[in-house]
Structures are given as structure tokens and as C-alpha cells.
Homo-oligomer: A and B are copies of this chain.
Amino acid sequence: MDRYIAQRLDLADTLAPFRSQFNVEESGPIYLDGNSLGRPSTAVTERLADAVRDWSENLVGGWARWIDLPAAVGDRIGRLIGASSGQVVVCDSTTVNLYKLAASALAARADRQVILADAHDFPTDRYVLQGLAESAGRELRLLEGSVVDGLDTDVVAGAIDAQTALVCLSHVNFRSGARLDIAAITEAAHRHGALVLWDLCHSAGALPVALDDDGVDLAVGCTYKYLNGGPGSPAFAYVRRGLQAELRQPIWGWFGQHDQFSMASIYQPDGGMSRFLTGTPPVLGLLGVDAAAEILESAGIRALWAKSERCTEMLVDLVRARLEPLGATLASPSDPERRGAHVSVAHAQAWPWCNALIERRMVVGDFRPPDVIRLGPAPLYSRFVDIFDAVERMAEVLKAGVDDVRDRPKSPE
């Protein structure tokens, strides 16, 4: 592997033209943190400016265009995750959506005692389930898998039984990038009558997901990583059509109400996906997500994933060749079939190393405790040569040695 090969890959890359839509500062650091916060495209910047103009000029009249955004943008996200129309809404945060859907599932399996989750899942997932287990008097059973390779399908399947109410897992682990098998785990859960809730934060917009085909019950995810919707842009929620009428979520807001604008005295949830909405939707956030997801749709999720696979494979090879001799280790699955779209590198000095790379404007990745730097190429705007150069710079900094730094980063997912 040398730089020339990376350049050749870029020349042959059919997605390369998309980079011009993202205002990448060529003299800036190499950005490999699109798995935390994606870049704004020109279309997003323009759509947000248009939205503010619409608000200014049309004021409350804008609602004629805005009122259906949660469903319309949801359908667009749905096309990226294998969900046909009417099953996805964009609203609230991932945390709040996870709460609503997990609570709904527990209510629908009131006679079952156990929630299964991953001991190494992202904090908000574990915390929300802890809270629900406590309030609903259930047991949260956390499965221990490999920190690098994630949970084995057999381990998850073997833990599911007739007492399992809900299996709640992340498709791709936030730290290691380990990918679980949605189809197999969902099927195992259904064999025992349990419901499944998949967190797609680290896969929506990056990997092909087939929610309908895989028979998934529930899913949530954010829109600010690979979907490039903007910092804190609203999240999505998926509920399988056949389950919608049966599930009732706990936050009875007026956007979930049947015939909302009649303002009836008794809450009666909408018959379809709108019952999972709560309050007034965040219009600017929704419009940003819509413009951002449109580009992913036009690129095609299979093409994006094909490039992503080549990027992560290259990263893994380079980490092994250039960083492992310097004391770092690959902290992502070595089997490409078990990987998501980012690659993690462990090192005892991971935080000072990561911090030095950012401070010197060389490479932007992100640190996750205790000892990992995550590197997430984004197929729409990352080049193969960026990956090559990034690892060279990481090696350079590590060779020179890094000092310890006191402050810990505060970088959200």
C-alpha cells in the first residue's frame, strides 16, 4: 500500500464528484469524524437559509409546508434503511425516541420480565433501558461480548427465551464499529415472541439496512452522523406497520393525537405512525435533514457502502502496517463481515495522541474512553488519499511521542 495506489482509487471512485458539494477546506485537517458529526453540503446550507426566509416572509403560513415534515422526511430516511412509506417519523432526539419505543414494547409484553441489551452499548441506550427497567419493574440483562468484535449472534440468540420482552441492540457499536446481524437476531427474538429494537445511529446512511425485509419491529437513529443533518438535528423512529396500532407510547402529545387540530378533550392516538410524535416538530432541523438525506439517496446506499468497505479495509491494513509497530492496536473487528463504517485504534495514550492530531490540525478523529481513537471516513466527501495521509500523520505524531493532557474532550456522538 502506498500513496500512489490511494490516488488511483480516488481517480476510479464514482462517488468522488460529491466531495465538491461539501466545502472541504483543502488545507485543513483531514476529517475522519463524519461518524460523529457529518459535514454540511451546499444543499443543506441553502435549504436552511431558504427556511429562515420562508419563516420571515410567510410566518405562521409556513406551517402549510412544515406540518407534514416529520412523516415526509421520515419516508426519505426510510428509503435509506429499507422501510417502505408510513413507518418512519423524524422527531425528538434518539434518546427520547428510544424511550418512547422501548416503553411501548415493554407495555406490549407486560407478562415478560427481561430486557436484553449489550453491556458495551452506547451510554444513552443503556441508561434509558435502566430507567425503564426500574420504572416498569423489569430486569435489564446486559450481555457481555468482545469489546472489539461485539456480541456473537449465538450468544444473543441463546439468551432469548419466553421471558424476554425486548431485545435492544445497536446495529453498529459506537466504539469498536462491530456490526451485529440484524436478520438473524431479529429472527431469534421472534421465535420466542420477543420484540426487537435496533439503534441505527452508526449505520443509517452508511450501511444498507433492510428493516422491512428483516422483519424488524422497532428502530431509532440519529441524523447528524452519516446523514449530515447538523449538530443535534432531530432523530428518527421506525415502527413496523403491523405493530403500529398495537403499540402506545407514553408521551401523549398533541402531535400524536388523531385529528389533532380538532383539539378534542380525550387523547386518542393517531392510527398510524404519527402516534409516535409528541410536540411541535423542529422545522429547521427537519429541513436540514431532508436536504442532507437527499444527497445520500442520489448517491445510493449500496455505492456508499461499497466505497466505505474499501475505505475501512484500507484503514485496517494501514493501522496494522504503520501503527501497530508503534504500540497501537486495531480495536475493530478484523473480519470485514463484522465491521461497520468506522475503524477504531487503541493506544494507552489514545487521548493525548488524538488531541495532538487535532491541535496540530493534522487529523480529526475522536477519542472514546478508555483508550480508543475512532476514524470514520465518509464516502461522500472522504478520499482514499485522506485515509493514507491520516495514518501517516498519526504515525508521525506517535513516533515523536505525545505528552499527557489533563482535559478530557466533550464531544457528543
Contacts and interface: CB of A to CB of B under 8 A. Distances in A.
Interface of A: 23, 25, 31, 33, 36-37, 39-40, 44-45, 48-49, 52, 55-57, 59-64, 66-67, 92-96, 99, 119, 122-124, 126-128, 130-131, 135, 222, 224, 230-235, 250-257, 260-267, 278-286, 288, 358, 364, 366, 368-369, 408-413
Contacts of A56: 23, 39-40, 45
Contacts of A66: 231-232
Contacts of A61: 358, 364
Contacts of A266: 130
A330 to B, nearest CB: 21
22 contacts: A33-B59, A37-B62, A40-B52, A61-B364, A63-B411, A63-B412, A93-B253, A93-B278, A93-B280, A93-B282, A95-B251, A95-B254, A95-B255, A128-B251, A131-B251, A231-B280, A232-B284, A232-B286, A233-B284, A260-B410, A263-B368, A282-B285
A95 B52 contact: no
A377 to B, nearest CB: 14
Contact of A124 (B55, B94, B128, B254): B254
Main secondary structure of the interface of A (DSSP, over half): mixed
A412 B280 contact: yes
Contacts of A253: 93, 95-96, 99, 124, 127-128
B52 A45 contact: yes
B285 A284 contact: yes
Copies of this chain present in the complex amount to 2
A64 B359 CA distance: 13
A265 B126 contact: yes
Contact of A49 (B44, B49, B130, B285): B49
A45 B61 CA distance: 18
A284 B48 contact: yes
Given A231-B283, A251-B131, A39 B59 contact: yes
Contacts of A64: 410
B279 A96 contact: yes
Given A60-B366, A253-B96, A364-B59, A413 B280 contact: yes
B369 A262 contact: yes
A64 B366 CA distance: 13
Given A123-B263, A280-B412, 10 more contacts: A49-B49, A67-B412, A95-B278, A127-B257, A128-B252, A232-B282, A232-B284, A233-B282, A284-B288, A285-B285
A119 B235 CA distance: 33
Which of A57, A232, A261, A410 counts the most B-chain CB atoms under 10 A from its CB? A232
Contacts of A93: 92, 253, 278-280, 282
Given A60-B366, A123-B263, A251-B99, A48 B40 contact: no
Contacts of A256: 127
A410 B261 CA distance: 6
A279 to B, nearest CB: 3
Nearest to A251: B99
Contacts of A233: 282, 284
